[in-house]
A and B are shown apart, each in its own frame.
Chain A
Amino acid sequence: DTAVSQTPKYLVTQMGNDKSIKCEQNLGHDTMYWYKQDSKKFLKIMFSYNNKELIINETVPNRFSPKSPDKAHLNLHINSLELGDSAVYFCASSPKGGSEKLFFGSGTQLSVL
């Protein structure tokens, strides 16, 4: 019974391709996030949704588009992948509209060749 699950765990693709990462949480949380972790382990927030409404949209190339069909799901679609997009992408959720106690998924390792 994984609390925050994301798929796929590994994604290897060519430059220029379009790919999606899916995330689902079964915790009943209102808020979901996408984070990017680079090779130096630095965590950068990309997006946050609260009850399907976008509330945080950091400076991210518009090739990245989040979609939240319902409050339990937050998917990330990436168009025209570039080498610099290679990173680990984490989905997370929290019980309130704030940041207290984030629950993270296990991550998606994206490698762009």
Chain B
Amino acid sequence: QQQVKQSPQSLIVQKGGIPIINCAYENTAFDYFPWYQQFPGKGPALLIAIRPDVSEKKEGRFTISFNKSAKQFSLHIMDSQPGDSATYFCAASSQSNYQLIWGAGTKLIIKP
């Protein structure tokens, strides 16, 4: 019940396309859903996060869509660029237990 399942494991998209990375969770107590971006040789960095009181959040070219009834959330990258090539992690946590539960990561490659 503590798991966060992330898919796909890897994704290759042409420049300008819209990669979509999906995550699913079981624990209904989760109330914070961040996405982290990790470049090679660097630590993960917070990209965007959402709480379950909204169904969508946009920051620049990055959008989180959240479906509370389905217990799923996804990351969309609009007008993707080669510089977006990185590993993306979804995660979830609850206020009662602050420990972040991480997805397994998605390696995204944007081809020029």
For B104, the chain A residues whose CB sits under 8 A away are: 40-42
Q: Does A27 contact B (CB under 8 A)?
A: no
Q: Does B66 contact A (CB under 8 A)?
A: no
A interface majority secondary structure: loop
Interface residue range, chain A: 20 to 34
Give the number of chain B interface residues (Cβ < 8 Å).
23
The A/B interface has a contact count, at CB < 8 Å, of 56
Closest CB-CB distance, B104 to chain A, in whole Å? 6
B interface majority secondary structure: strand
- Assembly CA distance A4 to B43 (angstroms): 10
Nearest B residue (CB) for A104: B43
Contact of A45 among B32, B36, B46, B99 (CB under 8 A): B99
Do residues A92 and B43 form an inter-chain contact, with CB atoms below 8 A? yes
Q: Does B95 contact A (CB under 8 A)?
A: yes
State whether A41 and B87 are in contact (beta carbons under 8 Å apart), knowing that A101-B46, A104-B45 are contacts in the complex. yes
Binding site for A on B (CB under 8 A): 32, 34, 36, 38, 41-46, 49, 87, 89, 91, 93, 95, 98-100, 102, 104-105, 107
Binding site for B on A (CB under 8 A): 4, 40-43, 45, 48, 56, 90, 92, 96-102, 104-107
User: Could you jot down 21 A-B contacts, CB within 8 Å?
Assistant: A40-B104, A40-B105, A41-B104, A41-B107, A43-B44, A43-B105, A45-B100, A56-B99, A98-B95, A98-B98, A99-B93, A99-B99, A100-B49, A101-B49, A102-B46, A104-B43, A104-B44, A104-B45, A106-B42, A107-B42, A107-B43
